[in-house]
Amino acid sequence: MRIESLNQRGRTAMLFVGVLSVCVTFNGQTFAEDANAAAGFFAAGEFAAGNEVASPRTMAVGNARRQTLEGGTGADFDSLIELIQDQTTGPWFDVDSEGGDITEFESGVRVDPNGVLAMNARKDLSGNLAAMGVKAHKASLNKDMARQSNLRLVSLTRLERVIAKRIAEGKPVVESMRHLAGLSQIEYVFVYPETGEIVIGGPAESWEYNDYGMAVGSENGRPTLQLDDLVTVMRTFSPEGMNIFGCSIDPKPENVKAVKEYATNSQARGALSPAGVRRWANHIGDLLGLQDITVYGVPAESRVARVLVEADYRMKMIGVGKLDANSNIPDYFDLLKKNPTLASGGLDAMRWWMTMKYDAVLHSEDHNVYQVRGSAVKCLSENQFLNAQGERISTGKSEPVNRQFAQNFTDHYQELAQQDEIFADLQGVFDLALVAALIKRDQLDEKAGWNRGVFATDGAYRTETYPAPQQTDSVVAHRVFNGQDVVLQVAGGVRADLMAVVSNNEISKTSPRLDGVAETAKAVDVPANRWWWDAK
């Protein structure tokens, strides 16, 4: 029997990706109700932005990883896993009734044998985990790497050679390598043709594994950049890759058609009673059914895909009022409540999606130095027309309330990223993808005489894989205002077209100020096998 731990924290406990939001208005009455069509996973009051749910599995992994951080050859989790199963209530899920193990899930996502994504989580209220010493801890780093740095440099070429050697010797990749020496953002890319090096740089500090197993900066709280993510996007931006990646979570056209027909017929019958509102919304959820999850450009089982899907989902949950962001990002219903006359008067599909945002990507005359300015994420919006077949037809336009939500989300994204690590994680993925796009566009690997080695598409480095979600249950939300308008919220996604960024002359510009900057970032008095250092 395959057993999985699904605990992580309240935020991922809601990961039913794909949201249908219906704004319903009826004459003379005002209601504010939520209907959850996701198979009863969340009892009333269980979901709130502040929920904290401990993860036995991820905490156990974080605790056991000390051995790797200190230069060991890896950790044996078997005895600890057995102890956790015996001493805690779980939940531990029997997935396929064959054998018996626990699978590590960093974000607590569970995918059943049919590819349906779901989530569950509970606190360990018994205190057993604390008694066993399974708790958050700081990474065991040497004092140099633990030191906070405004500009830490990581040589991708040196790192690749060190990892290739470890793989050849049958040794694991140590945690400091997996977390790129604590980098949290990318601000510079340097190329040294004379020594055959490509170096990335940005702020860094020591990190700790929080109560949920996630590696975050000890001071700034941002997730560390991940080697797995870097290798994944480098393979996307390669001769064999798509040079673009993203995800989309969409209802099936035939189900949207059924929803449209049902909503139209309901309006024709007149106003619903207050008691009928919840039944109406639940039936909408039943009609919508399972939604399809599509990942493109990166492997669906990669960590990058997991970040995209979760960030997309959580954006939608914020948009329909099922998850609080902050007062600066009110949900769609709150925005509409301030001006209900802006309701469309029909059944519309509203789409929000996220993409990258950069103020500038500057480069020196010789293209040996790149500086990234204003790294961020933006949310875009669009109204889509639903035809008789339930297909969503792009209009290229966005109504005022839809557009205002997207603008608020963009303007206050950094606050959101500080509050919720998944959005900082998404920004980090975009930063690494920008590096990969620059390497591809300007052929920096060829300039440095580097064939990417074990990081290449067919290289020996194997990124962590996770069960790939294919579908998810729908979640329905609705509000009732005055009038008889129905607004349908569907679709979304994440789109990362970094080649468009680096090819945009308004963003990618030459800056004479960068000439000679590479000299200040060189590895001085650093051993040849040392793959990171701090700028002097």
Q: What is the rounded average pLDDT of the residues 116-129?
A: 44
CB atoms within 10 A of CB 511: 17
H/E segment holding residue 171 = none
Beta bridge partners of 478: 22, 33
What percentage of the chain has pLDDT greater than the value 70?
A: 63
For residue 324, what pLDDT is reported?
84
For residue 350, what pLDDT is reported?
72
More confident residue, 110 or 440: 440
pLDDT per residue over 96-106, tens digit each? 333 333 333 33
The answer to whether 380 and 352 are in contact (CB under 8 A) is yes
Winning range, highest mean pLDDT, from 79-88, 295-304, 464-473:
295-304
Residue bearing tokens 């566009």: 441
pLDDT over 80 at 484, yes or no: no
Q: pTM for the complete prediction?
A: 0.75
pLDDT per residue over 135-158, tens digit each? 445 555 677 888 999 999 999 999
Question: How far is it, in rounded angstroms, from Cα 448 to Cα 471?
Answer: 43
pLDDT over 90 at 413, yes or no: yes
Cis amide prior to 91 (ω within 30 degrees): yes
Query: Parallel, antiparallel, or unpaired: how do β-strands 197-204 and 116-118 relate?
Result: unpaired
DSSP 26: B
In order of 127, 138, 278, 476, the CA distances from 22 in angstroms are 41, 45, 12, 7
Beta bridge partners of 480: 24, 31
Per-residue pLDDT band for 275 (boundaries 50, 70, 90) equals: low
For residue 170, what pLDDT is reported?
96
pLDDT per residue over 434-468, tens digit each? 999 999 999 999 999 999 999 999 999 999 998 78
Give the list of residues 6+ apart from residue 329 with CB closer than 8 angstroms, or none: 318, 405, 408, 409, 412, 416
Coil, strand or helix at 240: coil
Radius of gyration of the chain (CA): 24
The answer to whether 493 and 19 are in contact (CB under 8 A) is no
For residue 400, what pLDDT is reported?
86
Q: What is the rounded average pLDDT of the residues 78-102?
A: 42
Question: How far is it, in rounded angstroms, from Cα 310 to Cα 306?
Answer: 6
Q: How many residues does the chain have?
A: 536
For residue 270, what pLDDT is reported?
64
Q: What is the rounded average pLDDT of the residues 390-406?
A: 77
Winning range, highest mean pLDDT, from 52-56, 348-352, 381-385, 455-459:
455-459
More confident residue, 225 or 35: 225
